[in-house]
Amino acid sequence: MSAEERRAEIVEIALSEFAIGGLHGTSTEVVAQRAGISQPYLFRLFGTKKELFLACIGRCFDRTEGAFRAAAEGAGSGAPLEAMGNAYVELLADRELLLSQMQTYAACGDDEIRAVVRRRWGELYRTVERLSGAPADEVRAFFATGMLLNVAAAIDLPEIAGPKGAAWARRALHGEQ
């Protein structure tokens, strides 16, 4: 396995660990053990724990952008913004990806991480603008709905909003009265 292939494999393993423990609560020793490598080799590949975390942030944004691109292309001249929204709902079914996104935003107290997240989020925003061709208010609503969906998925709001569930949860998810 090449170093680049090994790096990609480690990022997937680390993404899973960071999803639960975040930047500060995740042990690089555990990541190395799960990858079947030594901790010194992990640091040879990534330098620092933060660099590994940043690689995971990149992977999350890459997956989201890739899903948006594929959805918009599949929509043809139809409704690309709606197609991207549906693709995002499918992504949220991956709980590790969802929690990784949440951990990404939680780690923005670190200046270096915040700078990377700002840059990548801005790139994602501009990609959605370009792919959708939607007016600014619709793109803004798209991202606002995405953040609501993140919280809904994290707390399993669909379960709470079930037929015999809480009315507030149904209103939050579906706008029902």
DSSP line for the chain: --HHHHHHHHHHHHHHHHHHHHHHH--HHHHHHHHTS-HHHHHHHHSSHHHHHHHHHHHHHHHHHHHHHHHHHHHTTS-HHHHHHHHHHHHHT-HHHHHHHHHHHHGGGSHHHHHHHHHHHHHHHHHHHHHH---HHHHHHHHHHHHHHHHHHHTTHHHHTSTTS-HHHHHHHH---
Q: What is the pLDDT along the chain (177 residues), one digit of tens a residue?
A: 788 899 999 999 999 999 999 999 999 999 999 999 999 999 999 999 999 999 999 999 999 999 999 999 998 778 999 999 999 999 998 999 999 999 999 999 999 999 999 999 999 999 999 999 999 999 999 999 999 999 988 888 888 888 888 888 888 888 765
Tokens of 101: 């996104």
- The CB density around residue 168, as the number of other CB atoms within 10 Å, is 11
Tell me, what's the pLDDT at 136? 96
Tell me, what's the pLDDT at 38? 95
Whether residue 125 contacts residue 65, with contact meaning beta carbons closer than 8 Å, is answered with: no
Tell me, what's the pLDDT at 176? 64
Tell me, what's the pLDDT at 158? 82
Tokens of 72: 């918009």
Tell me, what's the pLDDT at 173? 81
- The CB density around residue 173, as the number of other CB atoms within 10 Å, is 16
Tokens of 84: 């991207």
Tokens of 94: 């991956």
**φ, ψ for residue 118 (rounded to 5)?**
-60, -45
How far out from the chain centre does Cα 164 lie? Answer: 31
- What domains does the chain contain, in order, with CATH numbers? 3-174 (1.10.357.10)
Residues 6+ apart with CB under 8 A from 131: 68, 69, 72, 80, 84
Residues 6+ apart with CB under 8 A from 77: none
